[in-house]
Structure 1
Amino acid sequence: MKTRNYGQGIVLLEADSNYTILHKTDGAREISSYTMKWHIERLGTEIILIRPIRKFCVNLQFLKAFNGNFFLMNHFKRPIPVSRRRKEQVESQLHKYMNQSNSN
């Protein structure tokens, strides 16, 4: 796996047992034998990620819409649900991201 610009073009990560599927902007999917936790630790400095549900981790740069229960992403057709347990945390992270984006 390339280390330079590793996070570039990643829309979201999808967990599948001990594998991770990386969904990219061009519609390509890359299957990795590393866990989602490994990818999150690695991508944490490159892109802004939110994990709304155990199965998905989304890149906020490609966020199209959020209605409180679902994320809609650019370059990804299915809505990403937000778990009830993580809803407050996700909303506060999203609010923090939006404030940072507006101030820059």
Structure 2
Amino acid sequence: MKNEELLHVGSRKSFDTQEIVMLEAQENYTKIHLVSGKIFMSSTTLGKIELRLKGNPYFFRTHRTFLVNLNYVTAYKEKSIEVENNRNVTLSRRRKERFQSIFKSLNS
């Protein structure tokens, strides 16, 4: 799996989407979790970031709080997904079936 593009947040920050493990909503802010383990805070909402990543098939909204890069999913269970750095994120019931379908197609 590959995804080559930059995600621009704010007026001065941009991130290579390949370096983003997941994004986490915190009210009107978003935590950007990178492969390196670093976490950046952005004043851009998760909804706006999701719109910017709309054309990228590797990012999936698992829950109202999380947007994950499918390249870094290491396991998934009934109600959660594990991503690199041993982080667990919630998988909502109504998004579970779609997640399984997309994840399966990207890994075949």
TM-score for the superposition, normalised by structure 1: 0.79
Question: Which structure 1 segments of 5+ residues have no match?
Answer: 100-104
On the 8 A contact 1:69/1:81 being kept in 2, the answer is: yes
Amino acid of the residue matched to residue 65 of structure 1? A
| Local SS of the residue matching 2:44 | coil
Question: Aligned ranges for residues 75-94 of structure 1 at < 5 Å?
Answer: 75=85, 77-94=86-103
The normalised TM-score by structure 2 is 0.76
* Amino acid across the alignment from 1:89: R
Cα distance in 2 for residues equivalent to 1:87 and 1:81: 10
The answer to which of 22-31 and 32-41 deviates more is: 32-41
Q: Which has the higher strand share?
A: 2
Count of paired positions: 97
Runs of 4 or more above 4 Å deviation: none
Once the two structures are TM-superposed, the CA of residue 30 in structure 1 deviates from its matched residue by 0.6
Q: Secondary structure at the match of 1:64?
A: strand
Alpha-carbon distance in structure 2 between the residues aligned to 1:18 and 1:81:
19
**For residues 25-104 of structure 1, what are the structure 2 equivalents within 5 Å?**
25-45=35-55, 48-75=58-85, 77-99=86-108
Letter in 2 for 1:82: L
| Secondary structure of 1:79 counterpart | strand
* Farther-moved stretch of structure 1 (77-86 vs 28-37): 77-86
